[in-house]
Structure 1
């Protein structure tokens, strides 16, 4: 994947639209891996397409990059050890302005977006609280 020739028109350069870059950078840090190790695993198991170290570096440093195709997303999902859907959502946000939260009321969407600003331990406590307000899930196979 090559650098985008016109950086002024690349939405990934917008500071508000760095979800995918931040996801990859943060996940690589969580895994405790350098660029070389991470890139060595960025191989799509279906097509054999590889994502290069240089592309990952440019992405993480918010340089202009060509938006990834599904083959590159699968390769990065392998390297990040995350479900493909997580990467697709973040890439859609950063490169295409797509909000992955499509269901629910506008108030619910606003609430979910604010959750990302909370530390992980506070999100977990809040989720536990919300779970305590809702009826228990029915046994497998039963519907409410």
Structure 2
């Protein structure tokens, strides 16, 4: 396996299998240039102390069956990824339950959010900072 324990890109997946969550974790770990061991060491929920084990992460990334993560496990993975837990909740909901996180929003909001995937990471970050100046993250919707 590669030095940072990245699963082979040709891993077979069932054509119907959703992989949003696995793809998010795999991509973020690659962005961080982190192996499975180091990533799993940091996957600890800061509130409860729940840890996500290396084997579970490996099985997730290679498309093997895994138990959907509980909220504490999502928070642990968010900690390791350096991402908001909401991003992981959305991806996990899509992969494990077929829930489209954008289905409840307005069609205009949905269209904007879908365009975000086409922006480079630095531009998405700048856009988020701009939005946060207009609507602070802690303000009610």
Q: Could you say whether these structures have the same fold, taking a TM-score greater than 0.5 normalized by the shorter chain as the test?
A: yes
The equivalent residue for 1:96 is: 97
Quickly say closer, same or farther: Cα 1:14–1:51, change in 2 above 3 A: farther
Residue in 2 that maps onto 1:109: 110
Two-structure CA RMSD over aligned residues (Å): 3.0
* Offset from partner CA, 1:24-73 (integer Å, 9 cap, x none): 00000000100000000111111111100000000001111000000100
Pick the structure with greater CA Rg: 1
Unmatched segments (≥5 aa) in structure 1: 1-11, 132-136, 139-144
Contact 1:13 1:63 in 2 (8 A): no
Structure 1 stretches of at least 4 aligned residues deviating more than 3 Å after TM superposition = 12-16, 107-116
Q: Which has the higher contact order (CA 8 A, sep 6+)?
A: 1
Whether 1:60 aligns to 2:52 is no
Q: Do 1:20 and 1:93's aligned partners in 2 also have CA atoms closer than 8 Å?
A: yes
**Number of residue-to-residue matches in the alignment:** 117
Distance 1:93 1:85, change over 3 A: same
